[in-house]
Homo-oligomer: A and B are copies of this chain.
Amino acid sequence: MGIIRNILNSRSKKDGDFYMRLEKVLGFKPKHRKYYKKAFTHRSVNKRDSQGNAINYERLEFLGDAMLSAVISSHLFNEVPSGDEGYLTKMRSKVVSREHLNELGKDLGLLKMVFTKIPKNNFGENIYGNVFEALVGAIFLDRGYKYCERFIYYRVIEPYVDIERLEGKIISYKSLLIEWCQKKKKSFKFEVYEDTGNDALKHFAVKLHIDNKVIAKARATSKKKAEEKAAKRGYFVLQREITKSVK
């Protein structure tokens, strides 16, 4: 009995952790928890419902991708009244690019929440974007379009979507950040060290310090790339302050 009680306790603790994290990510209380559980279930778990249909996030990705695209389209449509169809299509594809979605999923720490039977470090970058899309699909099923829209505003558009940046008017995040730090009399430092990970390729890791606080970290195959990546992440973190002072 003691063993069973321990197993049940540890399972309900794990569930509790999951839902606590989930609420933090969502910014609201879910109504139907099952959709979210599915959104974080990898196919390796090999679960099926009573009809024999697979329970994992893959179908939800399809739904979430369509909802994300609809919400972003509507945002861009309203935000850029002078942009024609071609412009809007190009901007949308930048926002919902694989790279961008992976970055989002990573920043939200979604991998920690994934139920899987294979080790998490075996996943490639795409797991982040895939799970993020599935989460949007789950929100749509749980709460409908309005909540989906609110979540995407709060988690994608507000922190990440800046039209000028998407238009490519910002070329180097590193110089933008340095300029901002000098203007604001803040100290900054890119701390570079050679990363001795398990990768076949040699990697460089960079920590960006502003006023002696680590603002962002990044890894890449060259020092220059890693610095730019860290600056880009730092830019996202500080975006609201920066755009206010630069404009």
A residues within 8 Å of B by Cβ?
A: 51-54, 58-59, 61-63, 65-67, 69-70, 73-74, 77, 81-85, 88-89, 92, 137, 140, 144-146
Q: Given that A67-B70, A70-B67 are known contacts, is A62 also in contact with B82, CB under 8 Å in the complex? A: no
- Given A69-B69, A146-B145, A74 contacting B63 (CB threshold 8 A): yes
Chain B nearest Cβ from A89, distance in angstroms: 6
Q: Decide: B58 and A62 in contact? CB cutoff 8 A.
A: no
**Integer count of this chain's copies in the complex:** 2
Q: CA–CA, A66 to B137, complex, Å?
A: 15
Which one of A62, A137, A144 has the highest number of Cβ atoms from chain B below 10 Å of its Cβ?
A62
Question: Looking across the interface, which residue of chain B has its beta carbon closest to that of A137?
Answer: B77
Give the distance in Å from the alpha carbon of A106 to the alpha carbon of B89 in the complex: 26
B-side contacts of A137, CB under 8 Å: 77
Measured CA separation A82–B89 after assembly (Å): 31
Q: Which of A54, A74, A81, A140 has its CB near the most chain B CB atoms (within 10 A)?
A: A74
Expressed in whole angstroms, the Cα–Cα distance for A63 and B70 within the complex equals 8
With A145-B145, A145-B146, A146-B145 as given contacts, are A85 and B61 in contact (CB-CB < 8 Å)? yes
CB distance from A129 to the nearest CB of B (A): 14
List B contacts of A85 (CB < 8 A): 58-59, 61-62
With a cutoff of 8 Å between Cβ atoms, the chain B residues found around residue A58 in the complex are 84-85
CB-CB under 8 A for A66 and B69, given A53-B82, A145-B146 = yes
* Chain B residue at minimal CB-CB distance from A88: B62
| Chain B residues within 8 Å of A82, by CB | 51-53
Alpha-carbon distance A74/B140, docked complex (angstroms): 9
Known pairs A58-B84, A66-B69, A70-B145 / 5 extra A-B pairs, C-beta < 8 Å: A53-B82, A59-B77, A67-B70, A67-B74, A144-B145
